[in-house]
């Protein structure tokens, strides 16, 4: 009889566990930076060297240093919202950039010539 009660208790315990709602992990509650959207746009500053500016002036390719809390150092293209942003800037110039990131897209807000080469 005791063995039957033990077995019944174990079966009921497993049944209760299997009927319970599984726990779900969500980055949204933890405030993780890996979320796909950010509630307000974040502003970052970076330094870099211009590698190229295509003739249509819709992009600028920059070899930039690490952008703390955002991106590792790399060479990458940035879309230009206004072609006048690169007026007077040419390849091999050192620049400073202000970048806005809204969780989906990166927008160059400002480019400043640091050193002309």
Q: Please provide residue 38's backbone torsions phi and psi, each rounded to the nearest 5 degrees.
A: -115, 140
CB 49 within 8 A of CB 95: yes
CATH 2.40.50.320 matches 43-115: yes
| Distance in Å from the first CA to the final CA of the chain | 91
Domain boundaries, the chain: 43-115
* Cβ atoms 57, 80 nearer than 8 A: yes
Query: Strands, DSSP E only, in the chain?
Result: 42-52, 59-64, 74-79, 94-101, 106-115
Q: Are 68 and 38 in contact (CB under 8 A)?
A: no
Query: Is residue 3 predicted with pLDDT exceeding 50?
Result: yes
Cβ atoms < 10 Å from Cβ of 48: 24
Residues 48-97 have pLDDT tens digits of 999 999 998 999 999 999 999 999 999 999 999 999 999 999 999 999 99
């Amino acid at each position: 009889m005791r063995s039957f009660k033990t077995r019944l208790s174990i079966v009921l315990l497993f049944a209760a566990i299997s009927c319970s709602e599984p726990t779900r992990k969500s980055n949204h509650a933890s405030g993780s930076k890996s979320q796909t959207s950010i509630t307000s746009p974040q502003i970052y500053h970076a330094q870099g060297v211009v590698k190229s500016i295509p003739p249509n002036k819709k992009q600028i390719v920059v070899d930039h240093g690490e952008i703390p809390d955002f991106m590792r150092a790399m060479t990458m293209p940035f879309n230009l919202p206004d072609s006048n942003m690169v007026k007077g800037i040419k390849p091999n110039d050192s620049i400073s950039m202000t970048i806005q990131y809204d969780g989906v897209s990166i927008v160059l807000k400002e480019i400043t010539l640091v050193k002309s080469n």
